[in-house]
Structure 1
Amino acid sequence: MKKLLSTILAMTLSFSVGTSVFAMENTEVPNKDVKSALELIEKTNLDIDVKIEKAVEEADKLNAEYLNDVKEIELGKEMFKLIEERERAVEELQTAIDSNKAEKAQEKLNKIEEKMKEHQDKINEKISALQEGIIELTEEMLAVNGERKTEKIEGKIAKLEGKLDGKSAKTAERTQKYTKDLEKTIEKVYDETLKMSNETVEKAAEKGVIAECSWKLVRFADRWVWIDPIRVVGF
């Protein structure tokens, strides 16, 4: 009986050890694959974040340049510079540490504001003159007889209106360029990150890890776009 129990115990131990080794042989490789896949997903997500960050910075830079250009177009170079000078003068006044410096900063600010008013008055005069010219030519056109004279006057009116609308045309042109550049930046990061995600999801699947694109909303200047880092579903 004792010999039989010893034999059964030995068989039991042998089976237990054998099963344990067999389990290790079957789980060791998948565990390494899973770890490798998870590391790959983490690295890809970090790389995607870097690309997104750079694209966001580029988009913000494009937006800042665009807004400055539009201000300069609409206000005119001279007025734009005066506005920048006024902002610096206001800052000097606010940070003045004694009454002497504050007085000088205030004098500087007053001179700049006076120049701004003079410049704005000149702009208003030019606009009024153009508008008056258009009205006079329109009245002249209504008073004349003859198609050729009418066409000539219409041509003069078109030129005057073109001067009034010139800034709007330049702004529209600049807006078109900004939109094109911004879309190019967004399209590039979108395509690159989508490709990175898809490739990593496929590689992870080969190692037994189920993953998918997990879309998140990202702001690029004045646009919001869905970008796709990776989320682990299971393994």
Structure 2
Amino acid sequence: MKKLLSILFSTTLILTLGSPAFADEDKNVAKALDLIEKTNRDIDQKIEKAVEKADSLQTDYIADIRKIEEGDKLIKLKNEREKALSDLEAVKNDRSKEEKLQEKVFMLNAKINEEQLRVDSKLYEIHQDIDEATAQLVPANDKDAIKLEEKISKLTNKLDERSEKYQEKTERFTSDLQKVIKDVYNETLQLSANTIKKAAENGVIAECSWKLVRFADKWVYIDPIRIVKF
């Protein structure tokens, strides 16, 4: 009986002495998990803001290019149509003039549509250039530096074939978009690295999970944190 009581006492003592250590470990794990969750929220917010900025840059760029492409011809046609429509409204009771103006509006619409198709076709071509330009924006390591330089050289040659206005707008867009992507890439990578290190110190093993994120029309890998084990 005494032996049984001794065993029970020893077991209780061991468990009692061990509890604070387990409690501290649980607190550290909980702290690490909370930190990972907070970091991932911060990363998501940074990504969201960067995506919005990238989309805004592209919208502005396309609008600038459209202005260049439309030029005087399309603007003149649209102005003529507005005047013809205004005149048409003023001669509602004159059948002869009304028919002539309706015919003029019809012809102007046809010309505008034709010119607009040309503009849209040109914009599609430029859109392809955007893809090629922004393909260079994914952060490259030293191993890829030579290949990246070759691509940039090829891109520069293509840009030189366009007018100075196109080149200026495109270079500004690619430069601004590059900054948005590199900034969010570096910021989120640093956040992940710091949190992974702190989590490891508290007994939680984590790693970058890498997910594809769209910036304008480009997809780039960004690095939220994934828990491996704890």
**Fold similarity call, TM over 0.5:** yes
Residue 176 of structure 1: which of 171, 180, 201 is its match? 171
Q: Does the C-alpha gap of structure 1 residues 189 and 166 become closer, same or farther in structure 2, counting only changes over 3 Å?
A: closer
Q: Which amino acid aligns with 2:17?
A: F
Choose 165-174 or 199-208, whichever is displaced more. 165-174
Question: Partner of 1:49 in structure 2?
Answer: 44
1:111 aligns with 2:108: no
State the shift of 1:211 in Å. Answer: 0.8
Structure 2: which 5+ residue stretches go unaligned? 82-100, 116-159
The Cα RMSD (Å) is 3.3
1:67 aligns with 2:55: no
The share of aligned pairs that are identical, in percent, is 48
Point out 4+ residue stretches in structure 1 off by more than 2 angstroms: 77-83, 110-113, 115-118, 165-169
Task: Find the aligned partners of 1:38 and 1:49 in 2 and give their Cα distance.
Answer: 17
TM-score of the aligned structures, taking structure 2 as reference length: 0.63
TM-score of the aligned structures, taking structure 1 as reference length: 0.62
Task: Find the aligned partners of 1:81 and 1:181 in 2 and give their Cα distance.
Answer: 32
SS in 1 for 2:221: strand
Task: Find the aligned partners of 1:166 and 1:223 in 2 and give their Cα distance.
Answer: 23
Question: Partner of 1:131 in structure 2?
Answer: none
* Preserved contact between residue 79 and residue 116 of structure 1 (Cα < 8 Å): no
SS in 1 for 2:163: helix
- Aligned pairs, number: 166
Task: Find the aligned partners of 1:167 and 1:116 in 2 and give their Cα distance.
Answer: 28
Give CA-to-partner distance per residue, 1:16-57, whole Å, 9 cap, x none.
211211231221101100000000000000100000000000
Question: Partner of 1:186 in structure 2?
Answer: 181
SS in 2 for 1:76: helix
Task: Find the aligned partners of 1:28 and 1:70 in 2 and give their Cα distance.
Answer: 63
Question: Partner of 1:214 in structure 2?
Answer: 209
State the shift of 1:201 in Å. Answer: 0.6
Q: Does the C-alpha gap of structure 1 residues 67 and 39 become closer, same or farther in structure 2, counting only changes over 3 Å?
A: same
Task: Find the aligned partners of 1:112 and 1:44 in 2 and give their Cα distance.
Answer: 59
State the shift of 1:9 in Å. Answer: 2.7
Question: Partner of 1:130 in structure 2?
Answer: none
